[in-house]
């Protein structure tokens, strides 16, 4: 390693790099502490059907840092993945989701809501992941059919065979799956057919310019057609205005998520939304 660094070794003493390393180490230490001190919390972003009824929500984690304020998952999830902290954090998120499902289970309005939880590659590929999910379901008593795990296409590329085995083990318990950010990776269509999926989520980058960029419109149309032929429901992410929603409806999209309906919100706000918009 030292040899290959060769003449460029001086880069290691670059003060800016040193700063970055220190910042990352600090962030990791802060995260460990944040986990102990319950600085993480989850928000819920509703998923609606063609009539605007809430069918469920995506669980999105946030970090209320004591000094830096609320930090976005885009900034700390990569650090959690690199340090292994995604395992305790991910388990805590899963537990929170399952506890929420149980809290709703007796309510006629809320008891059928599904919760979708994002799962990182390093989390899913951990040898104990399947056992952990089954354990959390058993410990909380949540209905596995209301829990959906969101995986991304890039995870698929890593080790598709192992992934299929693990997905099937959870599927046997009733757990559902969706493929997140669809269209941004390199899914092999032959694998797609073999995965026990329920939903494809069209990435928000295609929805954003759906009305102005014919290429994005073509991708959206293709994903919806693909979903239909594989018997998967398609969820559009990042729906921000009525024109996008109408266009997606015309193309036959099944479910929708985005600021048009609601930003990610606290559980009380989600419950209120369900009472207003209905939940069937
Ligand atoms: P994602 O799973 O694709 O989640 C969707 C992201 O889009 C969320 O950002 C959400 O707030 C945002 N979003 C929703 N509707 C709209 C819209 O209409 N317009 C725009 N511009 N954005 C919208 P967020 O919460 O910042 O999360 C970012 C990413 O961080 C997520 O992307 C996911 O990859 C990751 N993430 C979030 N929570 C978790 C978690 O609990 N576990 C793991 N492993 N990753 C998570
Ligand atoms: Mg997601
Ligand atoms: Mg997504
Ligand atoms: Mg994303």
40, pLDDT greater than 60: yes
Task: Phi first, then psi: give them for residue 275, nearest 5 degrees.
Answer: -70, -40
| 184 Cα to the center of ligand 2, angstroms | 13
**Whether ipTM exceeds 0.95:** yes
Q: Does 120 contact ligand 1 (Cβ within 6 A)?
A: yes
Q: Name the residue with the closest Cα to ligand 1, atom 2.
A: 118
How high is the pLDDT of residue 3? 46
Spatial distance between the Cα atoms of 78 and 87, rounded to a whole number of angstroms? 12
Q: pLDDT, tens digit, for every residue of 50-89?
A: 999 999 999 999 999 999 999 999 999 999 999 999 999 9
CA dihedral 171, 175, 181, 186 (to 10 degrees): -10
How high is the pLDDT of residue 10? 53
Q: Does 97 contact ligand 1 (Cβ within 6 A)?
A: no
| 22 Cα to the center of ligand 3, angstroms | 30
pTM: 0.93
Q: What is the Cα Rg of the chain in Å?
A: 20
Q: Which atom of ligand 1 is nearest to the CA of 59?
A: 41
Q: pLDDT, tens digit, for every residue of 126-144?
A: 999 999 999 999 999 999 9
Q: Which of 205, 206, 187 is CA-nearest to residue 197?
A: 187
Q: State which of 43, 46, 60, 81 you would mutate to test the pocket of ligand 1, scoring each by most atoms of that ligand within 8 A of its C-beta.
A: 60
Q: Which atom of ligand 1 is nearest to the CA of 203?
A: 3
Which ligand places an atom closest to the C-alpha of 202? Answer: 3
Which ligand places an atom closest to the C-alpha of 60? Answer: 1
Q: Name the residue with the closest Cα to ligand 1, atom 4.
A: 60
Task: Quote the tokens at residue 78.
Answer: 């990569």
How high is the pLDDT of residue 13? 65
| 44 Cα to the center of ligand 3, angstroms | 14
Spatial distance between the Cα atoms of 143 and 175, rounded to a whole number of angstroms? 9
14, pLDDT greater than 90: no
Beta-strand (E) ranges in the chain?
40-48, 54-65, 69-71, 114-118, 147-152, 176-182, 199-202, 233-236, 255-256
| 202 Cα to the center of ligand 3, angstroms | 7
Q: pLDDT, tens digit, for every residue of 87-127?
A: 999 999 999 999 999 999 999 989 999 999 999 999 999 99
Residues at Cβ < 5 Å from ligand 2 ion: 118, 150, 180
Among left, alpha and beta (phi > 0; psi -120 to 50; other), residue 82 is: alpha
2, pLDDT greater than 60: no
How high is the pLDDT of residue 254? 98
How high is the pLDDT of residue 192? 86
* 147 and 177 Cβ atoms separated by less than 8 Å: no
């Amino acid at each position: 390693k030292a040899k290959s660094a060769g003449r460029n070794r001086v880069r290691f003493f670059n003060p800016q790099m040193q700063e970055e390393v220190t910042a990352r180490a600090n962030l990791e230490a802060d995260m460990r502490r944040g986990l102990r001190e319950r600085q993480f919390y989850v928000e819920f972003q509703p998923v609606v059907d063609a009539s605007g009824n809430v069918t469920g929500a995506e669980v999105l984690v946030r970090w209320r840092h004591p000094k830096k304020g609320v930090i976005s998952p885009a900034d700390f999830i990569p650090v959690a993945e690199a340090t292994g902290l995604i395992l305790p954090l991910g388990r805590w998120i899963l537990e929170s989701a399952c506890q929420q499902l149980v809290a709703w289970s007796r309510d006629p309005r809320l008891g059928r809501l599904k919760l979708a939880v994002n799962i990182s590659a390093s989390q899913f590929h951990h040898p104990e992941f399947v056992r952990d999910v089954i354990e959390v379901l058993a410990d909380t008593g949540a209905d596995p059919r209301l829990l959906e795990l969101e995986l991304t296409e890039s995870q698929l590329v890593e080790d598709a065979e192992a992934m299929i085995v693990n997905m099937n083990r959870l599927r046997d318990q009733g757990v559902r799956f969706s493929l997140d950010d669809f269209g941004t990776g390199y899914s092999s269509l032959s694998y797609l057919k073999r995965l026990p999926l329920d939903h494809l989520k069209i990435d928000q980058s295609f929805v954003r310019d759906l009305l102005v960029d014919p290429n994005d419109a073509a991708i959206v149309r293709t994903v919806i057609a693909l979903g239909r032929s594989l018997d998967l429901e398609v969820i559009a992410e990042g729906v921000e205005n009525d024109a996008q929603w109408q266009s997606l409806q015309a193309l036959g999209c099944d479910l929708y998520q985005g600021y048009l309906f609601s930003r990610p919100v606290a559980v009380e706000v989600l419950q209120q939304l369900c009472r207003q918009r209905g939940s069937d």
